[in-house]
Structure 1
Amino acid sequence: MEALLAQLQTLAVAEAVPFLLKLCGAIALWFVGRTLINGFRRVLHLTMQRRKIDATLIRYVESLFAGALTILLLLSLLGLIGVETTSFAALLAAAGIAIGSAWAGLLSNFAAGVFLLVLRPFRVGEEISAAGVTGLVQEIGLFVTSIDTPDKLRIVVGNSKLLGDNITNYAHHPHRQLTFKVPLHYGIDLPEFRRLLGAQVTAIPGVLPQPGPSFEIAEFTVNGPVLAVQAWCEHQNAGAVNTGMSRAIQETLTTVGYLPAIQSGWTSKAA
């Protein structure tokens, strides 16, 4: 009996005491590591806030770095206790490859979402045209962007598709230029038509006095000249001004007794 107790005492001294010391060191290292990780998160948060980075991106970047550092801390703790971590590292690498292959599309959308939030080609509330969709941006997420069309449809577009296409931002500049091309016949009293149309367009609410409307011949065709009618407005008034200009052109053509087909469209320019 005494021999068994002596063996247990020897085993405790040889194995248990070093293990307890390693365990205490691991616990201390855990608290120190978590304190350093939290401090790093605060510094990272303040740095990105000073650079005026989007709050959503700040939150995800913080979580990403905190998660990666926590995993490294856990692996260090296991190695300190004496647990073999090579298999854990191989398992994490294999899991990363499997997740990357399965979520290739999602990861591309995530990467594109990060670039959209950093580069800021458009913001929430701005009118854009991209990926075959035109409307107001309602939300920019890390994977998808939500856009409301003029007929009140909510369209959700993958960020990779948005970033891979040409993006037209109608609200980037404070002013927009609206252009209508009016085909005319030879023989029309062009000065009188310009005078009547100028009075109509100038009176449209939302049309800016400076720079004022312009009425210039854009090109000549077999049937007659094509008159380019241009006016400036604030981007949020573009829809109403576009409707007013279309109505003014039709009324003026009716007044002079001439009503051909109208080719209309608008372009976006900075004042």
Structure 2
Amino acid sequence: MNMEVIWTFLSTQGAEFGLKIVGAIAAWVIGRWLIGMAVALLGKGMERGKKIDATLINYLKSIFTVVLTLILVLAILDIFGVQTTSFAALFAGAGLAIGAAWSGMLGNFAAGIFLQVLRPYKVGDFINAGGTLGTVKELGLFATTVLTPDNALTVVGNSKVFSDNIQNFSVEPYRRVDCVAKVAHSVNVLEAIERLRPVIAAIPNVKINPAPDIEILQFTPEGPLLCVRPYAHTDHYWQVYFDTHKTIVSTFGAAGYPVPETPVAHRTV
């Protein structure tokens, strides 16, 4: 190593280089302190809103920290006269490459963030989303885990959930249970309706207000078709659904109503 060259550098540019090092260290220390303050304020703001999951808050804080740290490093390199344009282009190119390779994953991640913020459903809700009906077991950043009524654990990508209609059956205090009952033409349909009203209302977990809807839905060749629609909480939907059908059968059977039959047309020669 040529000591003369070193001495020449130190005597001519040493002071300036030393100041740059001191400035870089000061910029790093102050910049990291400011980044920590900004990230802490961001986290407290999101936690105060109580609309964002704690896991998502940690992810956002980490991403925010990494981005700000990269900006700080580029600023420090600029102090030493390093052209940061090439680094910015490199980061942009890497971002595009990663985005192209992980487009599906990034789409699920972005949808997961929106689901965490907007909260159209939460763990424990009974939903129909992304073509899947069931109870939400987990709302992750990339996928939603749903337990279907037939006890199958199903994982649905968040992008599919967010791009389709979302039905949440647990938000409202009750939902309508849709059933039908057909009576023969020989039966007094108004009498049949009056027979059903008290027994349907007496089914366990059926709401008193609103009262069950029992009306003529349409007319068929076999006889009038009645809509029998009690209201119940979503947790009792299937119990009320099956009990309603049992009650219709037992009520009509006790009344001696004939089974509706399709009229047969006889041809005459």
Tell me the matched-pair count. Answer: 258
Query: Counterparts in 2 of 1:39-118, with a 5 A limit?
Result: 39-55=37-53, 56-118=55-117
The structure-2 alpha-carbon separation of the partners of 1:7 and 1:117, relative to structure 1 and needing over 3 Å to count, comes to closer
Structure-1 separation of matches of 2:105 and 2:5: 59
8 Å Cα contact 1:176/1:233 also seen in 2: yes
Structure-1 separation of matches of 2:94 and 2:134: 40
Q: Give me the CA root mean square deviation.
A: 2.1
Q: Structure 1: which 5+ runs fail to align?
A: 262-271
The structure-2 alpha-carbon separation of the partners of 1:6 and 1:225, relative to structure 1 and needing over 3 Å to count, comes to closer
8 Å Cα contact 1:204/1:241 also seen in 2: yes
Match of 1:33 in 2: 31
Match of 2:266 in 1: none
The superposition leaves residues 60-96 of structure 1 with CA deviations (integer Å, 9 ceiling, x where unpaired) of: 2222221111100011111213333232222111101
Is 1:233 the counterpart of 2:232? The answer is yes
Name the SS of the counterpart of 1:151 in structure 2.
Answer: coil
- Higher deviation after alignment, 45-54 or 145-154: 45-54
1:24 aligned to which of 22, 25, 37: 22
1:5 deviates by 6.7
Name the SS of the counterpart of 1:41 in structure 2.
Answer: helix
Moved over 4 A (4+): 4-8
The superposition leaves residues 241-266 of structure 1 with CA deviations (integer Å, 9 ceiling, x where unpaired) of: 112112212222332344569xxxxx
- Higher deviation after alignment, 51-60 or 170-179: 51-60
The superposition leaves residues 11-57 of structure 1 with CA deviations (integer Å, 9 ceiling, x where unpaired) of: 32223333232112111111101111111112212222233221233
Query: Counterparts in 2 of 1:174-213, with a 5 A limit?
Result: 174-213=173-212
8 Å Cα contact 1:250/1:259 also seen in 2: no
Name the SS of the counterpart of 1:123 in structure 2.
Answer: coil
Query: Counterparts in 2 of 1:2-13, with a 5 A limit?
Result: 8-13=6-11
Report the TM-score when normalising by structure 2.
0.87
Q: Which has the higher contact order (CA 8 A, sep 6+)?
A: 1
Name the SS of the counterpart of 1:226 in structure 2.
Answer: strand
Structure-1 separation of matches of 2:5 and 2:150: 85
Q: Structure 2: which 5+ runs fail to align?
A: 262-269
- Give the letter aligned to residue 130 of structure 1: A
